[in-house]
Every structure is written in C-alpha cells, then in structure tokens.
Chain A
Amino acid sequence: MRAVVPLNPNRVVADRTVSTTCPYCGVGCNLQLHVKDDFIFKVTSPFDAPVNRGNLCVKGRFGYDFVYHSKRVTTPLARRYLLEGKPRPENREQRFEISERKETGEQRIENGETTSHPVSSHLLSSWDWVETDWETALNIVADNLTRIYKRDGSDAMAVYCCAKATNEDNYLLQKMYRAIFRTNNVDHCTRLCHAGSVVALQQAVGSSAMSNTASQVIMNDVFIVTGSNTSENHPIIALQMKEAVMKHGAKMIVADPRRIDLADMAELWLPLKPGTNVPVFSAMAHVIVKEDLVNWEFVNSRTENLDEFLESLEKFTPEYAEEISGVPAEDIRKAARLYANARNAAIYWGMGISQLSHGTASAMAIIHLAFLTGHVGRDGTGLNPLRGQNNVQGASDMGAMPFHYPGYMRVDNPENRAQWEKCWNIEAGGLSLKLGLTTTEILSHAHEGGIRALYIMGENPMMSEPNLNETRKHMQRLEFLVAQDIFINESGAFADVFLPATPFAEKDGTFSNTDRRVQRVRAAHPPRGNARPDWQIICDLALRLESRLGLDTAHWAYSHPEEILREMGSVNQDYAGITYERIEKEGLIYPVPTLDHPGTPTLFTESFPRGKGKFHPLDYVPAREEPDDEYPFILTTGRLLEHWHGGSMTRNSALNETYPEARVEIHPADAEIHGIRNGDPVKVQSRRGEVVLRATVTEKTTVGVVFIPWHFHEAAANLLTNDALDPQAKIPEFKACAVQVFPAREDDLPNPEFEVKRGRY
C-alpha cells in the first residue's frame, strides 16, 4: 500500500474568511480576516487586490490583536457621581482603571440603585469608573448634553469625529451635532495632519484630495517625495515607489530633513532643515522660470495670477534657499530640471509639508511646481497629499469639519444649508450658518462661556495635540466629556461617560482611502461583550436627545449602514453613484456622480474645480520657534512603522513588543559633542515640557535636528511641541520646535527595562 503523509491534525481551519479594509493607514489595503470561533487568527490579502496586490505591512498583517486585548472596554462606564446623582467633583482627573467590574459580581449600579454588596464607603471616590448598562449611560449623556445645550446654547457644544471610524459613523455624528445642537463645532484629526494641504489645494485648485491614484506611481518618470517617510507611514505606497524606481526606471527625488529609507533609492536627496519647504520649492520654481522650463501652454490656458507670483518669486534664488535650508543650490537646480523636463512627474507629500505654522504656504509652494510644468491632470502626474488615517479622506468627505457639510459644501452658504435641511427634515433656516471651531480651537475654548460639553469619538487629543501640558488644562476645564472608544485612552481617561464602541472588525460600513477609493468594511464577528457599533450608539443617543428637546426627527432609524451612505449620497454628488452592491468586490474611486459612472482615478483632466489654477505669491516665514543658545536643536516629530498615532491600537497589541519604547534620534556629530552614546538615556526639553527616553545615534537624522515619534505616552513628543498655528489652516507646528538634549540616568527612564533591539532602518 502507498504510504501517505497525514495532514497536521492540529491544523486550524477558518470557519470563514471576511474581506475588509485595513484600519491603519490611508493606503486602504484589502484584508482577508481568517476567523475561527469568533477569533481572527490570520490575515492574508488577495494577490489581485487593486490597491496592495497581496502585500501588507506589519500593522495590517499582524496588528489586529488589539480587538481581543484585556484592557478593551466592552461595557458602558460612568463616573460614580453620575450614577449616584451627586455633584461633579471639582477636579477632572485622568483615570484609567475601572473601579468596579460587573464580572466580579461585587457591585453594579443602575439608575442610581446599588444592587449588591457595596464596597466600604471610605474606598469610594466620586470619580471612579463604574460599569453600567447602555440605558443608564445613554440617558446620562442625553440628560447632560440637553441640560448644557438648553442653558448655554449651540456654541457650548462640540464634537470630535474620528478618522478611524467609518464614513457612516462620521456622517451620523456630524449630523447629530448639526441637526440637533445646531452647531458647526465639528472637527477631527484632519486638522492636525493635512489641514495646511487642504487649505492650499482648496485655494489653488478648489479640491483637496489626491489628484491621482497611488498605483499610478509606476507611470511617473520623475517623482518627488517630500515630508513623507513613506516606507513607515504608507508602506505599500512605498513599495510601489520602489518598484517604479527599480523596475520602471523612474527617478525619485526625496526632500526630507531625515535620511529616510527611500533616500537609498533616490536620484537626489535634498536634506532641508525642518520648516524650510517654501524657500526650497520656491527656488525650484525660480530655476524652472529662469531656465525657461515652464510649460507655457498649461500656464496660459489653465492658471491665473502668474505675474503676482513671479514677482514674489524673484528673491528665491537657489543660493538664497541654500542659505536658509542647507540644501546645496546645485541640487535644487538638478531637482528642478529633473522634475520640469520629465514627461510625467508627480509630487507625493506628507505632514512635513503641512504641519507647520506656515503649512498652507508650504503646500502652495509645491502646487506651484505642478502649475508651472503642467504635471497635473494626466495619468502618472499630479498633486498627491498622502492622507494618514484609513478614513481621514472619508471623514472629511462626510463633513466632519467645521466649515463644510458632507461633500465640501460650505456651511455659510444658505443654498447648501437648504439642501441639508431638506434631507434632515429641519425647518428652513434651522441649521447654523456660523463657521465652527477647529480641533485645536475647540479645546482652547473650553472655559466658562465657551465650549462646555465635548463628545469625542475615537480621537485622543491628549496625545495628538501640541503642547500637551496646556491641552491637559483645557480638558480639565470641560463641564461634561463623553468618550466613545474601544480603550480608555489618555483623553477618555478624563471623560464623565465612556461608551464602548466597536473596532473595524466588528462593524459594517465603508472607508475612503487616500486616493479616494471607497471600499467596504465588514464585521468579522459580533461585538465583544456589550460593545455596540458606533453608528448604532449615535442613532440611539440622537433619538433620546430629540425626545428631550422636543424636536421633529431628523431620521435615525437605519436598519443597515448602507442606508446611511445612501442618505448622504443623495446630497453629496461625489458619492451619489456609490452603493454597497457596486463596491461589493472592488472599491470605486469618487467622484462617482451616477449609478453607472465608473469612478474618477485622475482629476483635473480638463479644468480645476475652481476653474483656473491660481498662483499665490509667497514669502518665507520661518518656523515660529527657531533654535538658539538655550535650545539649540530643532525637534521634528513623526511616526514609526510599528505604531499608530496615539497608540490606542498598536500599544495594546503585539506590535508593542516589536517596538516598546520611544527613542530620540540624534546625529552622531551632535551626540559626540553632548557625550551621548547609542542607547543612552537622555532628557529632551523644550520651553513647554520635557521627556526622558533613550537616544538612537544615527545618520537617519541630520545635524542639528532630533526626531521623536509621538506614539508613546511615557515620553510624549507632544509635551514638547509648539502650539503655534497656521493662521489659515489652524494646523499646529508639530514639525519644528526648539529643544535641548541632556544626558540622563537609567533611573529617569519611565521604563528602563525596555529596550528596542531592532535591525531595521
């Protein structure tokens, strides 16, 4: 008889595989979740997936275990004072631990009644987190929001939507605040990432998304990557960039203060000092004009205001730029010639452009390059801000912004207002025409007579805002704070009520990725514990608010998220042709104006949304805080491959084991002067705060520049950053502030026992 090899008897076979979209970055990779007994044990991706062709990064392939983390909150929580009907304690503390768990059977408080075994009263604090039920929690939220709204009106109410949540969740949350509280104090973290790019693009072309798709990188002959550490922050787009260089002969120009991974494959690396984008890119424009590399046909037919711009350009010689930025003038010339002489050239940029007190000007300097050369409006060209979050594009599209309804319809335009009033069953003139406050302004207005009640869905301002010591004070001044999340993060720890929502793996909906591709998100299994999908929480709460305020209903009875998307698409023309059926297998790239429209991968082929592209005169404005004798280094912040933003997901995941501590990167020349060796503990101090962490001595950073990732609450980079804002976009200056670095002791480290041992660049 033939001998047969037996199949591994312990082999785990999936009960089902669920196709969904990655919850991390804006690339929007397709994930197949392999599920057994309601537990995801493996993630794969189909090799014909249009976005990522089977490739994933460490977060997408392995970073889903936060779903099952023991610290995840799956039962509603309220502070004890609320459950006992007592006055709120004077001090709003940051507290993470849950005092009483239902599972322990010790105590449960519902409707103010203690049902069993009270703990000795001297151990109780009014500020304890106590588990409760949905009915109680939602009634507390509804009562308090109603009370504050009736007392102080619309201007006291504000909400942070969430670039991690689905389009449907975000649409509903902004609808709740606009339709019920009649306020436009609605914003989300887009303000902190690409607001500068959005404002510049709106002013120059009238639309703020990527003009081309990321998969068109391989069609570029030349492309510029600037202010984006693409390999770590959009890993799959970085693979396409590498492929473009290695297999399709494209030439890459990297302009970044750090010698990022992509610099290895670049034709040119322009190591500019943080905050000097305007002189460098304007000098490139200067070269293009002076050497007459201008695409006059494009400039004459598609743009306006050239003369005023040229006048302002006069001073931006490459030598002037070299003096300010440190980039050799000759390299600026080479870069300008490469870009201008290419058949198809594109620019990809990240937050190194936008996160500055002159972020709008920075982005504008880039846009001018595309205008001068006509490298926009064709396949393989374009102006491409790489959006950070999985659904930051979508949340912005959904109107989670203080100046726009869904579809970028200005809130101060009565015609736009009328359309949404009709959609939401609101009396004519009922919605507010007043522009709302932005993310940063919402918190800085948290005081008597300003914002009193804040609702945070998924965001974490206590990690993501600049100058956190100041943010902390603002959080403490709120009268009522609701957190809707999956973990008690640094911000939720200040909240009065915690509503446990579901992560991507437990809900249905859609995400819109960085290149405007609207893709499905599907639940792999039911919510853990008593958690509920965000859209259901919002609808339930909205109905309670409407009944307390005696309002006609704005429609909250949805049986499935698809109905929410259809409602939104009935007014927002970009999404009008998108149905779940059409995106069942593959996403559609909006604008999709009709049900038979195939989507629009390349924008601006014939004209710009504002008509002609508009040049804007620019001047060089330095970063608000420049290094001096006391604080001689420029601190720039950013992200790591293994972590995500404030860390709610990745720090509660095995990802944390791969990179458990914050490190400050310092150049060997600087390290030597200060007597710092690789791995030494150091204290980094700015005028606003200080952190202690280990140093990585590396040429990945440049002389005079230190880099700290902002994921780690133990050494939060944003304790140091400057809360100076761009006057137009209101984006804070995360990318440049002045710091000093001192040697420190092992004992000063928050977690001396952890040390990253990684060989990756």
Chain B
Amino acid sequence: MFTLIVDGKEITIEDGKTILEAARENGIDIPTICWHAATTANGLCRMCVVEIEGVRLLQPACIVKAGKDMKVQTRSERVIRARRTILELLASTMDLSDAPEVLAMMDEYGASAERFPDAARRESEVKDDNPMYIRDYSKCLLCWRCVQVCAEDAQYTYAINFDGRGFKTQIGTFFDKPIPETTCVLCGQCVGVCPTGALKPKRQYLLEQGVSAEEISVMNTGRKRRKS
C-alpha cells in the first residue's frame, strides 16, 4: 500500500495498480476509448493521458503504474487540450456515427469535427463476407480490442491482426482472405468489444439497411431446403 496525489486528492492504493485503476477506484474518472476490462491495456488511443509532475510528456494512465508520492493531474489544461485534439483527429479521418460514447466525449471536450477539414479520411467498403457479422473499417479507430480478444485475451484463434503501416494501417486477415477461409471460428468476441460499430452482427446491420425482420428471417437463416 502507498499513497499518491491525484487531482489534489490523497489516495491510498495497493501496489501494482495503474494510474487508471487507482483513479477509478477512488471515484476519479479518466476517459478511455481503447481500454476495456476484458483486454490487455496497450495505451493506443491516448485518450487517458494524464500529467505527472516531473514527467516531461503526458502519460497514458491505462498502462503507467501508479507510484509512491506521484502527483497526477487528470484534468489539467494540457491534458484537456490533448484529449480534444485526439478526438478531433479521430473525427477528421473516420466515421464516428456509430460510436455514441466517443461522440459524447467530443461534446464534453468541445471537440470540433472540422478542426482538420482537409484531412484524408480512412474509408473502405463494408466487408460482408460471412453470414454472422460485417466489418466496416471506415468506422474503425484501431483500438486493437478485436485483435486482442481473437488472440490471447480470449479466443487464441489469431484470425485478424494489424495490416499495413502508418496511415494505411487497418485490421485485416492474412492475405486479405474472406473471414470464413481464415482460422476464424465466428465466435464474435471481436464484435462484442468493438466500440465504434465497425463490427456488427449481420442481422443488426441488415435491419439498419432497412431490411425488415421478416425479410431477414428468410434471407439469413440457412440456404438449404430440406429434401423430403
């Protein structure tokens, strides 16, 4: 057990906790996007950055361990500006329309969707290659949760991973094979952790495309007829 100061409040925690865990256990909210209770934290989205006295750069609270006598600010001007910019960068390159939680953060941080009006957008066709779920990578913010649950965080199946480099990075399958031909077992753990609607159950997607429940029941429930 040791003590540190977060936002001026003295808190006592057990060893080995991250700043995020320490703060949340003590009622101090730090926003996160890529972090998920069921996946290993990787500090990818940087939404959880905090300012630590004596440390030059902002630090991601989801992976940096809390330290004895650390002085942490979770809402300093610098932190807020960083978070707002992160949100604005995201909004400039991807489709956030199915990510209500991120949109709520944009409201909260006063982020503008048009701060970078000339930004190139990461756009791609909806991949509809299996009967269970669709992949709309225009809505992907590369949080990596889907890759993690496909691998050691749940399924040990390794069907998807990062593909490409830099701005062209996208989640994909090996050799861009259709999902059924990969090692995918269609468990949908990836769909369960996707924060932005990039991965959706096929039936939900069809409903959203205006296909009626009755039509879906006919078109998406097995194509074979029983021979009598």
Contacts and interface: CB of A to CB of B under 8 A. Distances in A.
Contacts of B201: 41-43, 61-62
A61 B38 contact: no
Contact of B222 (A247, A655, A758): A655
B154 interface: yes
A654 B106 CA distance: 38
B221 A66 contact: yes
Interface in B83-142: 91, 96-98, 100, 103, 106-107, 110-114, 130-133
B180 A68 contact: no
A8 B204 contact: no
A440 B180 CA distance: 38
A654 B97 contact: no
Interface string A350-371: 0000000000000000000000
Interface string A46-89: 01000001111110011001101111000000000000000000
Nearest to B113: A3
B203 interface: yes
A42 B222 contact: no
Given A68-B217, A246-B156, A657-B222, A55 B207 contact: no
Contacts of A95: 228
Contacts of B223: 656-657, 660
B185 interface: yes
Interface in B170-228: 177, 180-189, 191-192, 197, 201-204, 207-210, 213, 216-218, 220-224, 226-228
A251 interface: no
A759 B192 contact: no
Given A10-B210, A65-B221, A658 B187 contact: no
A737 to B, nearest CB: 26
Given A8-B197, A657-B223, A242 B184 contact: no
Contacts of A62: 131-133, 186, 188, 201-202
B38 A57 contact: no
B154 A12 contact: no
A6 interface: yes
B152 interface: yes
B180 A759 contact: yes
A750 B182 CA distance: 27
| A5, A47, A54, A97 pick with most chain B CB within 10 angstroms | A5
Among the interface residues A37, A41, A45, A751, which one has the most CB atoms of the partner chain B within 10 A? A41
Contact of B192 (A61, A71, A653): A61
B222 A56 contact: no
A651 B226 CA distance: 9
Contacts of B57: none
A654 B113 contact: no
Given A53-B38, A70-B217, A246-B156, A658 B180 contact: yes
Interface string A736-761: 00000000000000110010011111
B37 interface: yes
Nearest to B200: A42
A760 B226 CA distance: 26
B185 A8 contact: no
B208 A11 contact: yes
B2 to A, nearest CB: 27
A45 B209 CA distance: 25
A759 B96 contact: no
A652 B221 contact: yes
B155 interface: yes
A5 B187 contact: no
A759 B182 contact: yes
Contacts of A70: 217-218, 221
Contact of A5 (B37, B97, B209): B97
Q: Is the interface of B mostly helix, strand, loop or mixed?
A: loop
A430 B76 CA distance: 80
Contact of B228 (A44, A96, A265, A751): A96
A445 to B, nearest CB: 29
B217 A61 contact: no
B203 A65 contact: yes
Nearest to B132: A62
B156 A56 contact: no
Interface in B44-100: 91, 96-98, 100
Contacts of B221: 65-66, 68-70, 652-654, 656
A750 B227 contact: yes
A656 B220 CA distance: 10
A651 B185 CA distance: 17
Nearest to A1: B112
B97 A239 contact: no
B149 to A, nearest CB: 8
A758 B185 CA distance: 9
B129 to A, nearest CB: 11
Contacts of A123: none
Given A239-B155, A655-B222, A10 B208 contact: yes
B38 A65 contact: no
Contact of B204 (A41, A97, A657, A754): A41
Contacts of B177: 759
A714 interface: yes
B131 A657 contact: yes
A582 B38 CA distance: 27
A96 B217 contact: no
B131 A55 contact: no
Given A2-B112, A44-B192, A65-B203, A760 B183 contact: yes
A235 interface: yes
Contacts of A68: 213, 216-217, 221
B221 to A, nearest CB: 5
Contacts of B209: 10
A55 B112 contact: no
Interface string A621-661: 00000000000000000000110000000011111111010
Contacts of B156: 239, 242, 246, 265
A96 B227 CA distance: 9
Contact of A56 (B111, B189, B213): B189
B192 A54 contact: yes
Contacts of A673: none
Nearest to A69: B221
A239 B153 CA distance: 10
| A37, A65, A653, A759, most chain B CB atoms within 10 A | A759
A754 B224 contact: yes
A71 to B, nearest CB: 8
A57 B224 contact: no
Contacts of A3: 112-114
Interface string A10-31: 1110000000000000000000
B186 A97 contact: no
B211 to A, nearest CB: 11
A66 B217 CA distance: 8
B192 A36 contact: no
Given A62-B186, A653-B221, A759-B181, A45 B106 contact: no
B192 A69 contact: no
B37 A641 contact: no
A65 B183 contact: no
Contact of A41 (B183, B207, B224): B207
A713 interface: yes
Nearest to A68: B217
Nearest to A759: B181
Contacts of B191: 61
B154 A55 contact: yes
Nearest to A490: B226
A12 B222 contact: no
B197 to A, nearest CB: 7
Interface in A646-701: 651-658, 660
11 contacts: A4-B106, A8-B197, A34-B204, A56-B192, A58-B187, A61-B188, A62-B131, A235-B185, A641-B185, A654-B221, A757-B181
The 8 A-B pairs of least Cβ separation, nearest first, read A656-B222, A3-B114, A68-B217, A58-B186, A61-B188, A39-B213, A8-B97, A3-B113
Given A55-B187, A239-B156, 4 more contacts: A12-B204, A58-B188, A656-B224, A660-B222
